[in-house]
Amino acid sequence: MAFLIDLLREGIKDTEIIDISEKVLEGGRISVEEALKLYKFADLTLLGFLAEELNRRKNGNKAYFITNIQINPTNVCIYQCDFCAFGVKPSDSKAYEMSVEEILTRIHNAYQKGAREVHIVGGIPAHWDYDKYVSLIKKIKETFPDIIIKAWTAVEIHHMAKISGKSYRDILSELKEAGLSALPGGGAEVFSERVRNLISPSKADGKAYIEIHKTAHLLGIPTNTTMLYGHVETVEERIRHMEEIRKLQDETGGFQVFIPLAYWPEGTRLGGKRTSAVDDLKTIALARIFLDNFKNIKAYWITLGERLTQVALNYGANDIDGTIEEERVVHSAGTDAEKGHSKEKLIEIIRKAGKIPVERDTFYNEVRIYA
């Protein structure tokens, strides 16, 4: 350790950056201000070095993937967030809704190929009642008892509360009873009120998102969590977002993984530019350094593409998500990644990044190590 710190002192002129780096290497928790300094003034290579050192202490040389299927049951959505090219009005020529039979057939096909998780996230149509959300979970669980269901974001849970008059607690308990095992992390965007008012003023806000995840944790439902970055937010707003997440994790320990989602602008009302690779890597690295109470940081291959995902696995990330089969949300906004990948391809992506591929389940239990 002393050797690493001496090395830093030799290479870096800025004493504040050296002090923060020393704190990180000694396992200390950095403040919002320190994180902001690191993002603004530390080299990308220094951030990567610090993040990867912390990652290796927690995860060794392993990187995770899962054999799963993502289902986006409908793109019809009452909210129309400005950053989203997926959600459309019912009258739109691109509008679709899968029948329950179609959803079951898709899951059946993926199950035949070894899928152990179904991840459900979609639009929020006005005509779905509360029972539709619960009965879909029940039907999937009855048909595929050993598949794990990770479904409905906090935005959907908040909407269910509005249309049913039930509490978050009752809704999550009923979904759990029906067969839901985990919540995905979508819908977090950036918690700042300023940002929410600009990009998605009417859906569940940051406070509701945190309350729903906390309620899930207290009911024994683990959850994932995200941050959509690279649109109108400042770097400080990103770090404050991660601070809220770090606080709840201290309280409950119920988050399994943090997933920074790079914004894709094509076809959105918000427009703008794609994030740069440097910003993507800095954001992943900073998440690893700032979120000292997280074991897992995901480099989502759908938003980063295969090559940058490989670099991210050496900048603090230890997970790349899964086989997916057919992703539609980020593909509507122009990502050039494939729609899904075979398990063999994910193993190759991880191996070529210099890491040991490990197949995991939804809860990050190791299923098979591909040494």
Query: Is the Cβ–Cβ distance between 189 and 83 less than 8 Å?
Result: yes
Does 155 contact ligand SF4 by CB under 6 A? Answer: yes
Does 120 contact ligand V47 by CB under 6 A? Answer: no
The one segment of 4-12, 77-85, 90-98, 308-316 that binds ligand SF4 by CB under 6 A: 77-85
Does 206 contact ligand V47 by CB under 6 A? Answer: no
168 Cβ partners below 8 Å, 6+ apart? Answer: 157, 158, 161, 211, 212, 215
Tokens of 213: 């995840």
| Phi–psi pair at 278, nearest 5 degrees | -65, -45
Which option in ligand SF4, ligand V47, none does residue 349 bind, with CB closer than 5 to 8 A by kind? none
- Burial of 10 (C-beta count, 10 Å sphere; 0-12/13-18/19+): exposed
- Residue 226 CA to residue 173 CA, distance in Å, equals 23
Q: How far is CA 140 from the centre of its chain?
A: 23
**Least separation, in Å, of the C-beta of 268 and ligand V47?**
5
Please state, in angstroms and as integers, the Cα–Cα distance from residue 142 to each residue in 92, 136, 171, 195, 336, following that order. Answer: 34, 10, 19, 41, 36
- Residue 29 CA to residue 16 CA, distance in Å, equals 15
Which option in ligand V47, ligand SF4, none does residue 264 bind, with CB closer than 5 to 8 A by kind? ligand V47
Does 81 contact ligand SF4 by CB under 6 A? Answer: yes
Which option in ligand V47, ligand SF4, none does residue 192 bind, with CB closer than 5 to 8 A by kind? none
Does 226 contact ligand V47 by CB under 6 A? Answer: yes
Which option in ligand SF4, ligand V47, none does residue 24 bind, with CB closer than 5 to 8 A by kind? none
Nearer to ligand SF4, 11 or 267 (CB): 267
Site string for ligand V47, 26-65 (x = CB under 6 A): ----------------------------------------
Which residues in this chain contact ligand SF4 in the complex, by CB under 6 A?
77, 79-81, 84, 86-87, 123-124, 155, 200, 203
